[in-house]
């Protein structure tokens, strides 16, 4: 089997990466590759940066998060630039717990899981290589072996700062096993693994009465006390707590604010001083990124308690709101469906988009400006062009409510309703109307939605339905108009001739009579009005078309039917307006004649071949659009 060969190859490659040598040999590696001695925070930052960074319109997009987190670019940029980057530079923020705060199913756990899985993979790369004192349960940094009085000289020679003290166990091993000869201490390359508890730890609170602090800091091994004679002998201690095992990497505190206070006290010195107390030993050094997550209600309750002030001052809160872009929400649903057992069900085009529209509307806050409504705001956030608004307006809208996106419907609810819809319908195809119906029914039984919110959400379902009506008509319009492609091209050429004459203040010649005439204002406006170009905006639109034609000409390219998205849409709408009666009759006739049947079959074939429908969903779409046009 191919999979067995791949497993064998993976094992062989892993074996090649293993390294073991003395501390003296390790210093040669440090001299050649100083990044192997980087801190945990620096390693996480470099892991994200090495995956690639794109700059789009002055905003950074980190490829590390692509394909898993959608619509959170601004939150992720803030997280990397305000926490990981300065922490990697050893600034004070590294002495803070990173607390991700956001609504349920907003991506907090996914983000932490990505960091953990990413570190595991990164430790197998040259840039992410990690070395530790061999046999150390805490995978201790070998540079801790260098005495404090030599560290300044080491920094001058190697350019590397050493922080932290040698752990009690390795201090004893250095004397007993190596006779104090630091250069002989064995060092090995380690690979992070949550499953093997190497460099990645996870702590989840349970019943305070039964949970032991040893889960965090390790515990005495009573079976060895007789052998070693004392509880303060480090060999009689199990350094197997989550804080021990997460050393050099990342420590996840699940539901941190639900923890008993005694578990949080250890974090005070760990974050501020880089050490913690365990057993009857001196403070134990640990270098790890501590990340926790919570929801807004728990966080507000936590900071309201005066007893938590010391810990609160050592926390950096990063809001992780819901995504507010329709297209990105659609991608979230696609991913969740792809990973489910209903991936083989045909979901008609625009179904997930319409569901996403409803969801995003529930998360948006009513604009304070009178010239914009929620639907326009939704479109602007998604990057759509809305006449009369630009990027500056979008930025102003975002500043109106800094906490926007911290409430609303979560993606899991939508996927649950889609699943319910698929199972109930028992057919291999569902469409937008099926999903909207399922979403509406689900609101009646949603436990955490107030009566006021339920009324608002029902209104949003109606808005999403109206949006779908327009999409459905436009989809059928495109499929019908395709049969009239020559008409579309002719109409466009005619429009462009008139625009050119208008902009150049010239006349156009009638191709039949040769007579010179003024540009046909009625024709131009009948097309421009289809996409909402106002009388005041027509001149700017026409000039923009002419500039686009000139730009194409300079490149030696021909401006055609597909060269301008909005103009093409206007031409299609104009043709469709003229064809509406034909479409109405064709889609709604119960007993179509031969000509009508031929046209229906052509349109169905077009919807299947080029627009992603199947036979069932294409016929459902035609029937629905027929009913809309007959209202």
Instruction: List pLDDT tens digits, range 475-501.
Output: 887 787 665 667 778 888 888 989 999
| Residue 363: closest CA among 331, 326, 327 | 326
Query: Is residue 429 within 8 Å of residue 311, measured between CB atoms?
Result: no
CA-CA distance, 185 to 26, in Å (whole number)? 10
**What pairs with residue 444 in β-bridges?**
none
Question: Reduced to 3 states, what is the DSSP secondary structure of residue 535?
Answer: coil
CA-CA distance, 566 to 370, in Å (whole number)? 26
Low-confidence ranges of the chain (pLDDT < 70): 1, 207-211, 425-427, 481-485, 511-512, 578-592, 631
**What pairs with residue 131 in β-bridges?**
189
* Stated length of the chain: 631
Give pLDDT, residue 557: 86
| Residue 259: closest CA among 221, 215, 199, 319 | 215
| CATH domain 15-317 topology | Rossmann fold (3.40.50)
Give pLDDT, residue 116: 96
Query: Is residue 472 within 8 Å of residue 625, measured between CB atoms?
Result: yes
Q: Indicate where the chain has its CATH 3.40.50.300 domain(s).
A: 15-317
Token duo for residue 271: 């974050």
Query: For 98-156, how does the pLDDT look when each residue is reduced to its tens digit (9 = 90+)?
Result: 999 999 888 899 999 999 999 999 999 999 999 999 999 999 999 999 999 999 999 99
Handedness of CA 327, 328, 332, 338 (dihedral sign): positive
CA-CA distance, 372 to 18, in Å (whole number)? 61
Cβ-defined contacts of 176-182 (< 8 Å, 24+): 182/23, 182/145, 182/146
Question: Reduced to 3 states, what is the DSSP secondary structure of residue 319?
Answer: strand
Helix or strand holding residue 517 (H, E): strand 516-517
Give pLDDT, residue 229: 72
CA-CA distance, 439 to 358, in Å (whole number)? 9
DSSP state of 224: G
Query: Is residue 110 within 8 Å of residue 68, measured between CB atoms?
Result: yes
Query: Is residue 215 within 8 Å of residue 253, measured between CB atoms?
Result: no
Please calculate the CA angle 188-191-192 and round it to the nearest 5 degrees: 135
Query: Is residue 575 within 8 Å of residue 488, measured between CB atoms?
Result: yes
Give pLDDT, residue 166: 92
| Residue 106: closest CA among 359, 365, 374, 347 | 359
CA-CA distance, 94 to 41, in Å (whole number)? 7
Give pLDDT, residue 579: 66
- The secondary structure of 243-306, three-state, reads HHHCCCCEEEECCHHHCCHHHHHHHHHHHHHCEECCCCCCCEECCCEEEEEECHHHHHHHHHCH
- Supply φ then ψ for residue 123, to 5 degrees: -70, -10
CB atoms within 10 A of CB 188: 18
| Residue 124: closest CA among 187, 62, 198, 61 | 198
CB atoms within 10 A of CB 613: 25
CA-CA distance, 51 to 624, in Å (whole number)? 46
CB atoms within 10 A of CB 379: 17
CA-CA distance, 414 to 446, in Å (whole number)? 12
CB atoms within 10 A of CB 426: 6
Helix or strand holding residue 188 (H, E): strand 186-190
Give CA torsion, residues 77, 80, 85, 86, to 10 deg: 90
Token duo for residue 19: 């390294």
CB atoms within 10 A of CB 252: 23
């Amino acid at each position: 089997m191919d999979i067995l060969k791949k497993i064998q190859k993976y094992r062989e490659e892993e074996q090649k990466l293993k390294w073991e040598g003395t501390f003296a040999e390790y210093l040669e590696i440090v001299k050649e590759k100083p990044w192997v001695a980087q801190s945990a925070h620096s390693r996480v930052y470099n892991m994200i940066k090495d995956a690639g960074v794109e700059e789009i319109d002055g905003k950074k997009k980190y490829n590390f998060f692509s394909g898993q987190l959608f619509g959170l670019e601004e939150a992720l940029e803030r997280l990397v630039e305000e926490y990981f980057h300065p922490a990697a530079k050893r600034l004070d923020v590294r002495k803070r717990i990173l607390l991700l705060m956001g609504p349920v199913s907003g991506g907090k756990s996914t983000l932490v899981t990505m960091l953990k899985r990413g570190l595991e993979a990164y430790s197998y790369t040259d840039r992410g290589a990690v070395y530790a004192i061999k046999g150390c349960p805490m995978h201790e940094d070998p540079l801790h072996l260098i005495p404090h009085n030599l560290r300044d000289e080491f920094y001058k020679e190697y350019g590397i700062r050493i922080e932290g003290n040698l752990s009690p166990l390795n201090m004893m091993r250095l004397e007993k096993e190596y006779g104090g000869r630091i250069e002989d201490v064995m060092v090995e390359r380690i690979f992070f693994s949550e499953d093997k508890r190497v460099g990645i730890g996870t702590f989840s609170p349970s019943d305070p009465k039964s949970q032991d602090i040893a889960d965090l800091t390790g515990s005495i091994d009573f079976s060895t006390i007789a052998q070693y004679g004392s509880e303060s002998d480090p060999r009689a201690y199990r350094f197997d707590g989550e804080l021990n095992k997460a050393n050099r990497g990342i420590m996840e505190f699940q539901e941190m604010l639900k923890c008993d206070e005694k578990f949080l006290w250890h974090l005070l010195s760990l974050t501020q001083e880089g050490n913690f107390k365990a057993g009857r030993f001196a403070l134990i050094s640990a270098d790890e990124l501590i990340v926790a997550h919570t929801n807004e209600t728990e966080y507000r309750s936590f900071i309201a308690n005066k007893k938590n002030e010391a810990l609160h001052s050592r926390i950096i809160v990063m809001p992780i709101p819901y995504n507010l872009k329709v297209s990105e929400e659609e991608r979230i649903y696609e991913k969740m469906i792809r990973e489910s057992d209903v991936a083989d069900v045909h979901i008609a085009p625009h179904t997930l988009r319409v569901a996403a529209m409803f969801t995003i509307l529930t998360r948006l806050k009513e604009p304070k400006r009178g010239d914009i409504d929620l639907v326009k705001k939704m479109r602007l956030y998604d990057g759509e062009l809305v006449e009369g608004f630009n990027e500056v307006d979008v930025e102003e809208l975002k500043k109106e409510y800094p906490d926007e996106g911290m409430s609303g419907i979560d993606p899991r609810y939508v996927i649950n309703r889609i699943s319910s819809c698929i199972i109930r319908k028992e057919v291999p195809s569902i469409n937008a109307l099926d999903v909207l119906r399922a979403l509406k029914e689900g609101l009646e039984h949603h436990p955490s939605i107030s009566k006021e919110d339920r009324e608002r959400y029902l209104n949003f379902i109606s808005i999403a339905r109206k949006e779908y009506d327009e999409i459905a008509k436009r989809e059928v319009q495109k499929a019908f108009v395709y049969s009239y492609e020559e008409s579309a091209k002719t109409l466009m050429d005619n429009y462009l001739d008139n625009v050119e004459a208008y902009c150049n203040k010239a006349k156009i010649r009638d191709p039949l009579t040769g007579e010179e005439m003024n540009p046909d204002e009625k024709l131009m406006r009948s097309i421009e009005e289809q996409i909402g170009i106002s009388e005041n905006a027509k001149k700017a639109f026409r000039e923009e078309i002419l500039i686009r034609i000139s730009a194409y000409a300079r490149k030696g390219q021909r401006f055609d039917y597909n060269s301008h998205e909005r103009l093409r849409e206007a031409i299609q709408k104009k043709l469709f307006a003229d064809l509406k009666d034909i479409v109405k009759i064709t889609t709604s006739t119960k007993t179509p004649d031969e000509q009508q049947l031929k046209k229906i079959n052509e349109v169905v074939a077009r919807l299947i071949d080029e627009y992603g429908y199947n036979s069932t969903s294409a016929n459902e779409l035609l029937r629905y659009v027929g009913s809309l046009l007959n209202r």
